[in-house]
Amino acid sequence: MTNSNPNNATITTALSDQGLGQQPWWVEQWMELINSYRFKKRLERAWTYAREGNVTSIRFEGRRVHARVQGTGEDPYKVKLWLDVLNDEDWEYVLEALTQKARWSAQLLAGIMPADIERAFAASGRRLFPFKLQEVRSECSCPDKANPCKHISAIYFLMGDRFSEDPFVLFQLRGRTRVKLLADLAEQRRKVLANIAKATENANEIESKEAIENELLCQPHPAVVDPSLWWKYEGNLNADLVVITPAMEGDTGLDSAGELPFAEEPRFPESRQKFLNHLHIQGQALAQQAMVQAMASGD
């Protein structure tokens, strides 16, 4: 077998009498498609073509397979085979799913098809492997109207051999070459790691902010440490928010305080009332003085 380029390969091959032998699961799944073909006699003839070298060449050109198969005529018949490709949007879903499991990327890099690879393609609603034989598109220049004919079927058998060597051929038939797929996976992985790093950074910032807020909440108010601060206000008062008004007529701090517990003097019963009257007069005077001073400060 000769292989000139993994993405545009020319293969000249023939199967041995023992056939493909023990093959990876993805090759077996591909072979199940052609083995489901109901015309068994045609398959037997196709197997003979593949085994005895009637397939003179196979070229994997991008998304299509081109082959020549020598039949009963003088010139080989031309065979084409291809699958429906996934569009860019479908591949975005596939790549996103592939990057969610590092195992998938690691196995693909090692040339191994992950056993559950279809789960990644399910995200796009598409499949990597054709579900039935009719999903594989093919043409042959032979006069046989049946499709697949024995010449196309011979290519099925040899493609299984090719898939055994390089599972990325399946991705190529779906629209992504090996180089493109691995580059896209690397780019998608970088995006995921960048998003994780950003989310971690944001989480750390939130956690740090919450820690600072909790620390501030746990600290006592300064006035608890220094009681004298209860009686001080050093901030500037907004004139629009502060309204200075005189006390109600006859109202003083003594009236708000209620009855004072002064001791009674038996010899001078009128002295208590005189003292209270004196405090009341003084309170009114001081209140008036404070009102004048506050108004002057307001200017």
pLDDT, average across residues 88-110: 84
pLDDT band at 10; cut points 50, 70, 90: very low
How far is the C-alpha of 220 from the C-alpha of 224, rounded, in Å? Answer: 6
Give me the pLDDT at residue 18, please.
46
Buried b (16+ CB within 10 A) or exposed e, 75-105: ebbebbbbbeebeeebbebbbebbbeeeebb
Q: How far is CA 113 from the centre of its chain?
A: 23
| Segment of 69-73, 97-101, 160-164, 266-270 carrying the highest mean pLDDT | 69-73
Tell whether the model's pLDDT for residue 62 goes beyond 60. Answer: yes
pTM: 0.57
- Residue-wise pLDDT for 110-146, tens only, equals 778 888 888 888 877 888 888 888 889 999 999 988 8
Give me the pLDDT at residue 69, please.
95
Domain residue spans in the chain? 8-193, 237-298
More confident residue, 23 or 58: 58
Which of 58-62, 100-104, 216-220, 289-293 is predicted least confidently? Answer: 216-220
Measure the N-to-C terminal CA separation of the chain; round to a whole number of Å.
103
Cross-strand bridge partners of residue 139: 80
